[in-house]
Amino acid sequence: MKFRSLALAAAIASVGLSSAVFTPAAHAQAAEQYFPILVYRTGAYAANGNPWANGYVDYLKLVNAKGGINGVKVSFEECETGYATDRGVECYERLKGKGATVFQPLSTGITFALTEKAPVDKIPLITAGYGRSESQDGSVFTWNFPLLGTYWVAADVAIQHIGKAYGGVDNLKGKKIALVYHDSPFGKEPIPLLQERAKMHGFDLQLLPVAHPGVEQKATWLQIRRDRPDHVLLWGWGVMNSTSLKEAQATGYPRDKMLGVWWAGAEPDVKDVGAGAKGYSALTLQHGAEPNSKVVKDILAMVHDKGQGTGPKDEVGSVLYMRGLISAMLGVEGVAAAQERYGKGKVMTGEQVRWGLENLNLDQDKLDGMGFAGVMRPVQTSCTDHMGASWVRVHTWDGNKWEFSSDWYQADDKVLRPMVLDAASKYAAEKNIQRRTAEQCAQ
């Protein structure tokens, strides 16, 4: 008995001693750049959320395998949102106190909810390819970064692409375009731009909402069969996309007249439909499936072949995996840009990362050197432009794989810019936000 008491006392003492001795180790751990990752690996959107999350995590592992961000190792932690706004906010609240310096919500709904929290907590939000379209205006939305593109960019390019088939957007007069959209902030986001374009070019825009998660669309596609629109724009996510394609097949609507947003153009959207989706096209957020890119080869060699891969090996390089990977890269490069100003090899704060994201300059040489040759075009942000690029390509499903089927497009700034400024100004007035001046931008 006495021996047991002594042993217990010794154990307690050793625990106390070890925590004292290893305090520097704990400090070293705090010297890591912490990346919270909001994911959805369960629920209705898991099939699409998983590859994104795996790409994101694998890229962070690659960064560590290459020595970190100028020597600063990356630590990360996942939080499951289930694509639900309330759970996303809960994740944000839980992780922000752990040293989070950048969040990527992967949901337009969660982005809307966090847009007012980010300035208070001084943590930037990267929303690559989603979120609020007007947040491109960095002089109002100081903490939002819709890098690479917004839904207004996507909608604008979609109309340009459809117009090209008729010899130009001016020939769209009298045509009928139906928007089949997820009835959520994500799905509603392109509507203002499409309405603007419809007014400009005289085409008829038909709006067809589909309720979450989008498994019941028979009535929607019966209306499409009745009204016979010339083109269908598909603004879906998750199971909604494959269901739309199956209903299109079941109602005989030609798939080559359908064009999806970049969240409706990945392998999980068409794999189950197979040949039934042949001819269906979707926009890309610059990249498509990139299994032959150098960055993918690096991940296979330095992460997966070392037994450190996050998901299945055959998924590496798929469309949504690349989306996650590029999203992680943008966050990492924001930190690296901040280090250029505030000190290489140091852990950056949220405010410093915000500066880095606002002064991001990924030119082609740099991207190529990082392994993104052929995957991405340059991204350059500024105080007033938090998007940095609006390059889009179109890819088409050939029954087995996605193949690029168009040249590069860019959103028409003459259409986009006034809308962004107008919406951002309204937001600023509503929230009593002072637009940043040139002097403030220069700081």
Could you tell me which residues come within 8 angstroms of residue 254 by beta carbon, excluding any fewer than 6 positions away? 248, 279
Contact 95, 36 (CB under 8 A): yes
Cα distances (angstroms) measured from residue 430 to each of 140, 199, 348, 434 = 12, 27, 32, 11
Q: Is 313 in the site for other proteins (CB under 8 A)?
A: no
DSSP string, 139-161: TT-TTEE-TT--HHHHHHHHHHH
- The stretch among 36-44, 107-115, 154-162, 322-330 that binds other proteins (CB under 8 A) is 36-44
Q: Which is nearer to other proteins, 154 or 240 (CB)?
A: 240
CB 193, CB 133: distance < 8 Å: yes
Contact flag: residue 21 with other proteins (CB under 8 A)? no
Out of 213, 279, 291, 378, point to the residue binding other proteins (CB under 8 A): 213
Distance, in Å, from the CA atom of 387 to the CA atom of 423, rounded to the nearest integer, reads: 15
| C-alpha–C-alpha distance, residues 235 and 214, integer Å | 11
C-alpha 299/C-alpha 181 separation (Å) is: 35
Kindly state the smallest distance separating residue 138's Cβ from other proteins, in Å. 33
Q: Which CB, 223 or 410, lies closer to other proteins?
A: 223
Tell whether residue 210 is a contact of other proteins (CB under 8 A): yes
Q: Which of residues 274-293 bind other proteins (CB under 8 A)?
A: 276
Residue 80: which H helix or E strand, with range?
strand 74-80
- Count CB-CB contacts under 10 A for residue 7: 10
Residues 166-195 that bind other proteins (CB under 8 A): 183
User: Which of 32, 78, 121, 272 touches other proteins (CB under 8 A)?
Assistant: 272
Q: How many helices (H) and strands (E) does the chain have?
A: 18, 14
Does residue 137 contact residue 116 with C-beta atoms inside 8 Å?
no
| Helical residues (DSSP H) of 302-393, grouped into ranges | 319-342, 350-358, 364-369
Which stretch in 29-37, 115-123, 211-219, 375-383 sits in contact with other proteins by CB under 8 A? 211-219
Q: Which of 68, 209, 279, 378 binds other proteins (CB under 8 A)?
A: 209
Beta pairing class for 281-284 and 391-397: antiparallel
Judged by CB, which is closer to other proteins: 243, or 352? 243
Residue 314 CB, shortest distance to other proteins, in Å, is 11
Residue 98 phi/psi, 5-degree rounding, is -95, 10
| 216 near other proteins, rule: CB under 8 A | yes
Query: Of the candidates 171, 195, 223, 349, which one interacts with other proteins according to CB under 8 A?
Result: 223
Minimum CB separation of residue 319 from other proteins in Å reads 14
State which of residues 195, 249, 361, 405 lies at the interface with other proteins (CB under 8 A). Answer: 249
Q: Segment contacting other proteins (CB under 8 A): 66-74, 151-159, 215-223, 289-297?
A: 215-223
Residue 222 makes contact with other proteins by CB under 8 A:
yes
- ∠ CA(379), CA(384), CA(388), 5° rounding? 10
Per CB under 8 A, the segment of 59-67, 152-160, 193-201, 269-277 that binds other proteins is 269-277
Q: How far is the CB of 156 from other proteins (least distance, A)?
A: 24
Let me know: does 322 contact 352? Beta carbons within 8 Å: no
Q: Tell me the one-letter amino acid at 331.
A: G
Q: Which is nearer to other proteins, 183 or 298 (CB)?
A: 183
Residues 37-66 binding other proteins (CB under 8 A) are 41-44, 46-47, 50
Per CB under 8 A, contacts with other proteins among 227-246 are 238-239, 242-243, 246
Size of the site for other proteins (CB under 8 A): 37
Q: Which residues are at the interface with other proteins (CB under 8 A)? A: 41-44, 46-47, 50, 183, 207-211, 213-216, 218-220, 222-223, 225-226, 238-239, 242-243, 246, 249-252, 268, 271-272, 276
